[in-house]
Structure 1
Amino acid sequence: MPLNRLTLMPEGVGIDLPQGSPLTGIENKTSEPLIPFGCRSGACGACVVEVLAGSDALGETDPDEADFLEDLGWTEGNYRLACQCSLWDSATIRVVAS
């Protein structure tokens, strides 16, 4: 299975994940928490990230995810809930919620 690179900024840390892997899979690749996952179901907002490059690589935004991001005030820019994303190609993100 092909690997795709997820780069986390501003640290510049790159993690390779198999194509189609949920972003929660980075927890198995590193000993330190790079993204603060909370509920893992898109209901807490702990894992809001800004997509800096490769937004298409993270799959489509579900309407419930978009509504929740709007409720949280993340409407300007390209924001996602990392727990709701799967990596289909290379992407670069920045964690904005913690």
Structure 2
Amino acid sequence: MDLKKLTLMPHGLEVLLPEGSPLTDLENQTSQRVIPFGCQSGACGACVIEVLDGFDSLGDMDGDEVDFLEDLGRTDKQYRLACQSRLMSAATIRIAEEE
């Protein structure tokens, strides 16, 4: 099993997840609830993250995720839905501030 590092700022929390894991698996690696989750299907927007480093490390975005982020006003490329992102290599993220 190939493990990849996910760093969550500003906490500086680092976890190792198996390659291809959804970011929601972060919750299984720490006792802290660090990313807010609601539906886990890309429909509520509770888990919007800002990718500080490694945007391409989170797998491809599908059209539904792109459209939903646009609906939320998150049109800059650095935003993703954590529940729709899969860790393919090292990345650094933070919870997006509310707009």
Name the TM-score, length of structure 2 as normaliser.
0.94
> How far off is 1:97 after superposition?
5.2
> How far off is 1:67 after superposition?
0.3
**Aligned with 1:6: secondary structure?**
strand
Task: Supply the distance in 2 between the matched residues of 1:60 and 1:77 (Cα, whole angstroms).
Answer: 12
Give unmatched runs, 5+ long, in structure 2. none
1:9 maps to 9
> How far off is 1:56 after superposition?
1.0
Identity of aligned residues (%): 62
One-letter identity of the residue aligned with 2:82: A
> How far off is 1:77 after superposition?
4.2
Give unmatched runs, 5+ long, in structure 1. none
Cα shift readout 1:16-50 (whole Å, capped 9, x = no counterpart) = 10111111111111111111011000000000000
**Aligned with 1:27: secondary structure?**
helix
Task: Supply the distance in 1 between the matched residues of 2:76 and 2:82 (Cα, whole angstroms).
Answer: 17
> How far off is 1:76 after superposition?
2.6
Moved over 6 A (4+): none
**Aligned with 2:24: secondary structure?**
helix
Task: Supply the distance in 2 between the matched residues of 1:12 and 1:34 (Cα, whole angstroms).
Answer: 11
1:78 maps to 78
1:69 maps to 69
Name the TM-score, length of structure 1 as normaliser.
0.95
**Aligned with 2:6: secondary structure?**
strand
